[in-house]
Amino acid sequence: MNIFDMTIHELHAALKGKQISSREATVAMLDRIETIEPQVGSFITVTSEQALTAAKSADERIARGECHLLTGIPMAIKDIFLTEGIRTTCGSRILNNFIPPYSASSWEKLRDRGAVLLGKLNQDEFAMGSSNESSAFGITRNPWDTTCIPGGSSGGSAAAVAARQAIATLGTDTGGSIRQPASHCGCVGLKPTYGRVSRYGVIAYASSLDQVGPLTRDVADCAAMLEAIAGHDPRDSTSVNTAVPDYTATLKGGVKGLKIGLPKEYYIEGLDPDVQRAMDAAIETYRRLGAEFVDISLPHTDYAVATYYLIATAEASSNLARYDGVRFGHRAEADGLLDMYAKSRSEGFGTEVKRRIMLGTYALSSGYYDAYYVKAQKVRTLIMNDFIAAFADVDVLLTPVAPTPAFKIGEKINDPLQMYLSDIFTIPVNLAGTCAMSLPAGFSASGLPIGLQLIGKPFGEETVLRAGYAFEQATEWHLRKAAI
């Protein structure tokens, strides 16, 4: 078996048994990255030298008998995570030369367990997008069909897993940015409950919605990654101080008697027939495994996209005010301070980011604040209450991740509204602050992956992972590999 085709748990067994060294694994991944990059373009920065150094210390740790599940495993992370001494761009020209002085907590936790960083992954600029086309560093292509988008904004994180350029990756999800690319690239992606994983050192897009999570080949790897990154962090006041369960230990519990809700608002007329077929088959599989289905309703679903684009853009307009050319990032040549601000921002930000700063500033401006921002906050509460009511009757919800499989590069880039609507099934989860996972559930007639979404109760990651694992054991979708 090729090293680059392995899961975390397979490579871990080989590292622990000393059949493979972390150095060998890292070299194999770096070679693979070099071969595949011209076709896919998952990376913004490849950190070959640092990776070999990290692999060396991982091998020393393993020789001493310290072999954590993640020790020596080559990974890559979205370029939204600060990495001390390593360029971090967030997909933006404004941070083209930014070298952070410290690292994100989530990456530190992986690194401390001995994970090896292969590089920083491409993404939509400031995580704003669903296709990876808004990156200032070129597009990423879908490894299953390179004329299609990989999804976004963690497009590089999903493409790198699907193209076997990294064993696992980290992404962030504000409105679907882990789950939607995972679905389009045929991998597993989990958005944890808000507060489950520290956001410290993650470049902020919309702070009340952003969460960090893993993208992996299978559910067991996803559980292992979540276990490593979850937990309280005194440096993030919104990270919650509750114990991290042993997600791996409960994976095999099965789904007998599990109550699964089917929200009627997610099974709509416009759903792509291939997606509908995959959902029908998934429901059948769960029935066979002993789960029970309950029809439910999330009545405020229709308002979710509009609510999200008011709240997310309002928060973004405030978060992005710090990029003014003064302390870090791009600084334009200019006459005087105000001119410098204006020019630095005009030159540094791309079109989508500018659009959102304008939308957000408008929603927050006096005179419109109550009509837009305050109203959106109220609707957010109604959406949250929909989920609370649903979870009184069921354990998890099963829905599509996206209304269609991956679309063509260029297809929606000039129609922002169409692009925004592609997140219709993922956005409500962020507004409600709860957790959800995307996992492989089939293929379209043209061979593109289709994901299913399992939405859990707040801090219900254990149940989501257990239900996902049961599905994975009963199907073979996750074993198919993009022919690249």
When asked if residue 315 is in the footprint of ligand GLN (CB under 6 A), the reply is: no
3-state class of 158 per DSSP?
helix
Q: Which is nearer to ligand GLN, 21 or 177 (CB)?
A: 177
Q: Where do we find the tokens 């070679």? A: 31
When asked if residue 423 is in the footprint of ligand GLN (CB under 6 A), the reply is: yes
3-state secondary structure 254-279: CCCCCEEEEEHHHCCCCCCHHHHHHH
When asked if residue 436 is in the footprint of ligand GLN (CB under 6 A), the reply is: no
Q: Which is nearer to ligand GLN, 74 or 175 (CB)?
A: 175
| Contacts of 431 by beta carbon, 8 Å cutoff, 6+ apart | 209, 304, 307, 308, 311, 380, 383, 384
The least distance separating ligand GLN from the CB of residue 311, rounded to whole angstroms, comes to 10
The least distance separating ligand GLN from the CB of residue 154, rounded to whole angstroms, comes to 7
- Restricting to residues 164-203, which ones interact with ligand GLN according to CB under 6 A? 173-177
User: Can 252 be counted among the known catalytic residues?
Assistant: no
When asked if residue 127 is in the footprint of ligand GLN (CB under 6 A), the reply is: yes
The single residue of 21, 22, 42, 78 carrying the catalytic annotation is 78
The least distance separating ligand GLN from the CB of residue 418, rounded to whole angstroms, comes to 12
Hey, how many other C-beta atoms are within 10 angstroms of the C-beta on 45? 17
The least distance separating ligand GLN from the CB of residue 127, rounded to whole angstroms, comes to 4
Q: Quickly list H helices, 167-249.
A: 179-185, 219-229
Q: Which is nearer to ligand GLN, 266 or 471 (CB)?
A: 266
Q: Which is nearer to ligand GLN, 42 or 177 (CB)?
A: 177
Segment interacting with ligand GLN, rule: CB under 6 A, options 22-30, 128-136, 235-243, 254-262:
128-136
The single residue of 153, 239, 317, 344 carrying the catalytic annotation is 153
Rg (C-alpha) for the chain, rounded Å, is: 21
Answer for the pair 33, 24: CB distance below 8 angstroms, yes or no.
no
Half-sphere exposure of 418 (CA within 13 A, CB side): 9
Segment interacting with ligand GLN, rule: CB under 6 A, options 51-59, 127-135, 194-202, 261-269:
127-135
Q: Which is nearer to ligand GLN, 107 or 286 (CB)?
A: 107
Q: Which is nearer to ligand GLN, 253 or 433 (CB)?
A: 433
Answer for the pair 172, 148: CB distance below 8 angstroms, yes or no.
no
The single residue of 105, 131, 177, 422 carrying the catalytic annotation is 177
User: Can 446 be counted among the known catalytic residues?
Assistant: no
When asked if residue 460 is in the footprint of ligand GLN (CB under 6 A), the reply is: no
Among 128, 226, 409, 455, binds ligand GLN (CB under 6 A): 128
Q: Which is nearer to ligand GLN, 71 or 153 (CB)?
A: 153
153: preceding bond cis by omega (within 30 degrees): yes
Q: Which is nearer to ligand GLN, 202 or 228 (CB)?
A: 202
Among 129, 192, 213, 329, binds ligand GLN (CB under 6 A): 129
Hey, how many other C-beta atoms are within 10 angstroms of the C-beta on 179? 35
Comparing CA positions, the residue from 402, 303, 417 lying closest to residue 359 is 417
The DSSP bridge partners found for residue 242 are none
Q: What are the respective helix, strand and coil percentages of the chain, to the nearest 5? A: 45, 15, 40
d(CA 215, CA 71): 18
Comparing CA positions, the residue from 477, 458, 483 lying closest to residue 188 is 477
Among 71, 89, 130, 444, binds ligand GLN (CB under 6 A): 130
The least distance separating ligand GLN from the CB of residue 61, rounded to whole angstroms, comes to 34
d(CA 377, CA 69): 41
The least distance separating ligand GLN from the CB of residue 111, rounded to whole angstroms, comes to 23
Stretch 24-63: interaction string toward ligand GLN, x if CB under 6 A:
----------------------------------------
The size of the interface with ligand GLN (CB under 6 A), counted in residues, is 13
Q: Which is nearer to ligand GLN, 254 or 433 (CB)?
A: 433
The DSSP bridge partners found for residue 451 are 440
d(CA 469, CA 312): 32
d(CA 52, CA 74): 10
Structure tokens given for 1: 């078996």
Among 95, 312, 353, 401, binds ligand GLN (CB under 6 A): 312
The least distance separating ligand GLN from the CB of residue 252, rounded to whole angstroms, comes to 31
| Contacts of 47 by beta carbon, 8 Å cutoff, 6+ apart | 86, 117, 118, 119, 120
The DSSP bridge partners found for residue 191 are 436
Q: Quickly list H helices, 41-165.
A: 48-63, 105-112, 155-162
Structure tokens given for 218: 């299978």
Helices 105-112 and 219-229, packing angle to 10 deg: 110
The least distance separating ligand GLN from the CB of residue 429, rounded to whole angstroms, comes to 10
297: preceding bond cis by omega (within 30 degrees): no
Among 26, 153, 444, 453, binds ligand GLN (CB under 6 A): 153
The least distance separating ligand GLN from the CB of residue 406, rounded to whole angstroms, comes to 14
Residues that bind ligand GLN (CB under 6 A): 127-130, 153, 173-177, 205, 312, 423
- Active-site residue numbers? 78, 153, 177
